Structure 1
Amino acid sequence: MAKNTMMADRGVCIVGAGPAGLSMARALRWLGVPYEQYERHADVGGIWDIDNPGTPMYESAHFISSRRTSGFFDFPMPDSFADYPGHRQILRYTRDFATAFGLREAIRFDCSVTGVEQSDGGWRVSLDDGTHKVYRAVVCATGVTWTPRVPWHPGTFSGEIRHSGSYRDPAEFRGRRVLVVGLGNSGADIACDAAANADAAFVSVRRGYHVIPKHLFGIPTDEFSARGPQLPLRIERPLFKLLLRVLQGDLTRYGLPEPDHKLFESHPLLNSQLLHHLQHGDVAIRPGIAALDGSRVRFTDGGTEEIDMILYATGYDWDIPYVPDQYFQWQDGRPELYLTAFNRSHRNLFGLGYLETNSSAYTLFDHISSILAQYLHDQVHAPARAAAFDRLIAEDQPRLSGGLRFLDSARHRSYVDARAYRRYLAKLRKQMGWRQLAPGMFDHLRVQTHSRKAGVA
C-alpha cells in the first residue's frame, strides 16, 4: 500500500456538491449507505454560486424552467420565489436543501479530487492534500459547464475576445460594440444584456431556433404544458407550433434563420426578452463569422461590422478531468452511460448530471440517484438483485427520446426526453423490486424546514 493511503470502509465517494451531488448524497443517506463527499469550493451550490471560481454564472441568469416544475423531489421551491428564479434564489434554495437533509456533515469543503483510478478491487481517490482513499464506488457529479468551448476563425482581431463563461455583469458592455456568437439560452440572455447596455449589439447565428416565450396566457410555459393533457407527439407538435405562430408571427422578419429542425428536436430557445429587443432594433442578427479583420468582423453573407468585443456563447466541452479518459467510453465528447449514469465498462464508476434534457434537471437527478443508491445498497444486502442489474447495465439499450428525433449532433448524444426518462425509470424500479419515489420518503432525514416554509427572497 502506498504511503499516505488510508483504506476506507469501502463506502462511496461523491465528487462535487452541486445539485447532482446533493441529490446523490440524500439518496445514499436515505438507505444508510456510507459515503464521503468532496467539494473544491467553500460551500455547496456548484455553478449557481457566482463566487465559485470558474462558474459560468452571470448576474442576469435565471432558471429556464419554472419554479413549480423545478427543484428537488418533495422539496418544492418557496412560493415567494419568482416564476423563473434568479441565480441567487436558486443558490439559497440549494443550500437550504443541503441543510434541511443534514447533508453538510459528510462534505469536505475546499478539497479537490485530483485523480481516480482502479485499485485493490475498488477505486483509489487522490486528494489535493496528497492523501488517498479507496472506495468501493465513485460518483462523479462535477457538472458539464466548466470547460469553455471557443471556436477558431481565420484572421486577427484587435478588440477583446472572451467566452461567456467569463461574463458577469451588463456594465461590461457599456460604451462598446458587442458581438455575441451563439444563441443558446445563455447566449440569448447575454444578448439582451448587450442590447440594453452596449452602444451596439449583434448576435451571430448559424442556424435557426424555435423561440418559446416564458409565459403562455400568464402561466409559465412548462407549467402550462404540464397542466394540459398529455397528447401524442403527432398532435402536440403541430398544435404548439400553431400557437407560437399566432402569438409571435414569422420570426424570420427579425433576421432569425428558419429552423432546420422540427419543434422539440433540439432544445428550444426559452426567452421572452429577445424578441422585444429585436422588435425595437436594440440588437441585430448576423450570420456566421467568415473572418476577423482588425476591428471588423466579416460574415458569411459578405457583410461586416465594426466590433469592440466578441463574446463566444458557444457552450462547453464536457470533461471529468480527474478521471482518465480510459475509464469512460467517450463518444463525440460525451461519456457513454447507461441511463445517463451507469458506466457500462467499469463497475461502480458513475456519472451523475451528464445529460441534456427538455425539462428541469433537479427532479431527474433525484429519479436516477434513487436507483443508483438502491443498486449500491443491493451490492451489499441483495447481491443477486445487484447482479441482475449488472446485466441490464451491460445489455439494455432503452430509447429515451420519447419518439423525438433529436438533431444528429454531439450535444444530442446525451439528450433525453424527460417524460420518457421518468417513465422508463419507473418501469425499471418496478421490474427490479425497488422503491418508487414517493412524497414523504425522505422525511426522516429532515433536520429543519423553517427557512423553506417561510420562503426566501
Structure 2
Amino acid sequence: MTVSVCLIGAGPAGLAVARALRERNIDYTHLERHTDVGGLWDIENPGGPMYETAHFISSKTVSGFSGYPMPDAYPDYPGHRQILAYLQSFADAYGLSERIEFGVEVADVHRDGDGWVVVRADGSSTRHDAVIVCTGSQWFPNIPELPGSFTGEVRHSSNYRSPSEFVGKRVLVVGGGNSGCDIACDAARNADYTAISLRRGYWFIPKHVFGVPSDVFGGKGSFLPKRLERAILQPILRLFNGDPTRIGLQKPDHKLFETHPVINSMLLHHLQHGDLVARPGIESTDGRTVRFTDGSSDEFDLVLFATGYRHRIPVAQQYFGNEQHPDLYLNCFSREHPGLFGVGFIETNSGAYQLFDQQAHMIAGFLDDRGHNPARAEAFAQRISTDRPDLSNGLRFDASPRHTGYVDADAYVRFIRKLARTYGWSLTSPAPTQTPVQVSA
C-alpha cells in the first residue's frame, strides 16, 4: 500500500521532512508559496522576520542536519545569508528542490473521510493520506497593547530590517528574547539614544565560554541531571556577568533553564559602556514620554516591540487548536486528527535543526509503516493518542504562554531515541551521494 503525502513549506523543517520522505520512497507533493527554499532565513521572503544583522543563536557545530554538517569555514554563529546558502545547498545536494512546486500558496486544508484535501489559492485541490505542515512559527507577530497615548512610531520587530532605521532616533526596544536583545544592540550602535524595557530579570548566556560556543561547552554536561548541571552553570554565569543590578537590569526571578535561554554577549557590553539603558516594564505613555514601573521616564521617537510570535497555522488552524502552542504528540503528531503532522513548532532550549531532522525521520518512519507494516503503525497510532511523557527533565518551566508545552532538549532526544529503537526507525541520514554544492563563508 502506498501513502500519499502533501508537505507544506520549504523552510528548514520542510526540507528535513522532504529528505526523510524521499529516503523512504514515500510519494509526496511539496508546496512552497515563496520562489525559493529557506523559509524565514530568506530576507526576501515577503512577511518574514529576518533582518540584516541576524545570526544563528545556536552554533554551527550543533545545528547542521545529520549527514550534512555546516561548512568548517563558517564562523561559530553564521549570519542569515550563510544559513540560507546552507539550506539551498542542502536542498540541491539531496535532490529536494526539483520536487518543490514554488509560488504555490495553500488556501485551506480540511478533513475528507480518511484523507485530507489541500486547496491551493488558485482553487485547485488534491487529496492525500497525510498532510505535514512546515509553515514555521514566526509569521504572526504578538503585539501587546501600549498603555496610554504614545504619539511616536510603534512597530514590531517583524518589520525591522536594518540598523540604519535607527539613525537619528531615540529608540525603546521592548522584550528580552534573543531577537530583542540583538536588535537593542543594533540600536545602541546607531540610534541617538537607546533603552531596552524588560519586565523581569533574565539569565544571559555568553555566546562563547572558555573560547568555545556555549552550546558546545554546555553539551559536555548534558549527561548530568539537569539540576546538577544548573548548580554548576549558575555560579559560572554569576562570575562571568557580575551583579546585573549594577547596569540597571533586574535579578532573574527564576532559575537557569526555566525560561528560554538568552544567548547574547553584547547586550551587557553595551549596558556597561552606556550605549544602552535598561528599564523595567512600561506603566504608561503620554505623547513621546514613556513612564516605567520604577517611576523613571524617557522621551522616545520609536517603540519597537520584540515580543515574539503566535504559533498560528493558517492553513489548518482548526485542527491544530491553540494558536500559542499546538497540542501535538512529541510536538509533531496530531493527537486528534490521524494523518496530520506539524514540524517546526517545538519550543525547547537547544538549536532546532537537529530536532526538526529527528522529527522528520519519526514521521517518515511512521508513514512508511502505514504502507508496509500496518500493525506497527497502528501500535504507534495508539500511543499518539494516549501517551503524554514528561519531557521537562525535572525543570519547572515558566508559566508564560511561550513555555506552554516547552520541553527540555536532552529529555526529548533521549525519549525519541528510545522510541526509534522500539519501532525500528533511523533518526539520521547519510551524506548525499552526489557532490554537495559549495557554500561560501
| TM tier, smaller | over 0.9
The question of 1:449 aligning with 2:436 is answered yes
What CA distance in whole angstroms lies between the structure 2 residues aligned with 1:126 and 1:448?
Answer: 37
- The residue aligned with 1:412 is 403
**Superposed counterparts of 1:207-218, under 5 Å:** 207-218=200-211
- How far did residue 260 of structure 1 move? 1.1
- How far did residue 435 of structure 1 move? 2.8
**Superposition TM-score, scaled by structure 1 size:** 0.94
Q: Secondary structure at the match of 1:298?
A: strand
- How far did residue 120 of structure 1 move? 4.2
What CA distance in whole angstroms lies between the structure 2 residues aligned with 1:406 and 1:122?
Answer: 37
What CA distance in whole angstroms lies between the structure 1 residues aligned with 2:166 and 2:180?
Answer: 14
What CA distance in whole angstroms lies between the structure 1 residues aligned with 2:59 and 2:363?
Answer: 27
The question of 1:436 aligning with 2:436 is answered no
- The residue aligned with 1:5 is none
What CA distance in whole angstroms lies between the structure 2 residues aligned with 1:13 and 1:229?
Answer: 36
Post-superposition Cα deviations, 1:164-202, rounded to whole Å, max 9, x if no partner, equal: 000000000000000000110000000000100000000
- The residue aligned with 1:97 is 90
Verify the 8 A CA contact 1:125 1:132 in the aligned structure 2: yes
Verify the 8 A CA contact 1:356 1:414 in the aligned structure 2: yes
1:442 corresponds to which letter in structure 2?
P
What CA distance in whole angstroms lies between the structure 2 residues aligned with 1:173 and 1:234?
Answer: 42
Verify the 8 A CA contact 1:71 1:360 in the aligned structure 2: no
The question of 1:230 aligning with 2:220 is answered no
Post-superposition Cα deviations, 1:31-51, rounded to whole Å, max 9, x if no partner, equal: 000001111100000000000
Residue number among 3, 19, 25 corresponding to 1:26 in the alignment: 19
The question of 1:328 aligning with 2:334 is answered no
Post-superposition Cα deviations, 1:125-174, rounded to whole Å, max 9, x if no partner, equal: 00012100001100010011000111112222211110000000000000
Q: Secondary structure at the match of 1:74?
A: coil
Identical pairs, percent: 53
What CA distance in whole angstroms lies between the structure 1 residues aligned with 2:92 and 2:413?
Answer: 27
1:436 corresponds to which letter in structure 2?
S
Post-superposition Cα deviations, 1:306-349, rounded to whole Å, max 9, x if no partner, equal: 10000000111111111142x1232x721100000111110001
**Superposition TM-score, scaled by structure 2 size:** 0.97
The aligned length equals 440
- How far did residue 230 of structure 1 move? 2.5
Verify the 8 A CA contact 1:102 1:446 in the aligned structure 2: no
The question of 1:344 aligning with 2:335 is answered yes
What CA distance in whole angstroms lies between the structure 2 residues aligned with 1:378 and 1:299?
Answer: 57
- The residue aligned with 2:53 is 60
What CA distance in whole angstroms lies between the structure 2 residues aligned with 1:150 and 1:226?
Answer: 34
1:437 corresponds to which letter in structure 2?
L
What CA distance in whole angstroms lies between the structure 2 residues aligned with 1:69 and 1:281?
Answer: 34
Residue number among 356, 371, 374 corresponding to 1:383 in the alignment: 374
- The residue aligned with 1:37 is 30
Verify the 8 A CA contact 2:131 2:341 in the aligned structure 1: yes
The question of 1:177 aligning with 2:164 is answered no
Runs (5+) with no aligned partner, structure 1: 1-8
1:377 corresponds to which letter in structure 2?
D
2:273 corresponds to which letter in structure 1?
H
Verify the 8 A CA contact 1:180 1:202 in the aligned structure 2: yes
Verify the 8 A CA contact 1:10 1:122 in the aligned structure 2: no
Alpha carbons of 1:322 and 1:437: their partners in 2 closer, same or farther (altered >3 Å)? closer
The question of 1:274 aligning with 2:267 is answered yes
2:314 corresponds to which letter in structure 1?
P
What CA distance in whole angstroms lies between the structure 2 residues aligned with 1:107 and 1:147?
Answer: 24
**Superposed counterparts of 1:98-247, under 5 Å:** 98-228=91-221, 230-247=223-240
Alpha carbons of 1:128 and 1:202: their partners in 2 closer, same or farther (altered >3 Å)? same
* CA-based RMSD: 1.4
Runs (5+) with no aligned partner, structure 2: none
- The residue aligned with 2:75 is 82
What CA distance in whole angstroms lies between the structure 1 residues aligned with 2:264 and 2:147?
Answer: 32
Verify the 8 A CA contact 1:296 1:307 in the aligned structure 2: yes
2:320 corresponds to which letter in structure 1?
F
Deviation larger for 173-182 or 217-226: 217-226
- How far did residue 212 of structure 1 move? 0.7
Verify the 8 A CA contact 2:89 2:437 in the aligned structure 1: no
Verify the 8 A CA contact 2:222 2:410 in the aligned structure 1: no
What CA distance in whole angstroms lies between the structure 1 residues aligned with 2:306 and 2:437?
Answer: 39
- How far did residue 63 of structure 1 move? 0.5
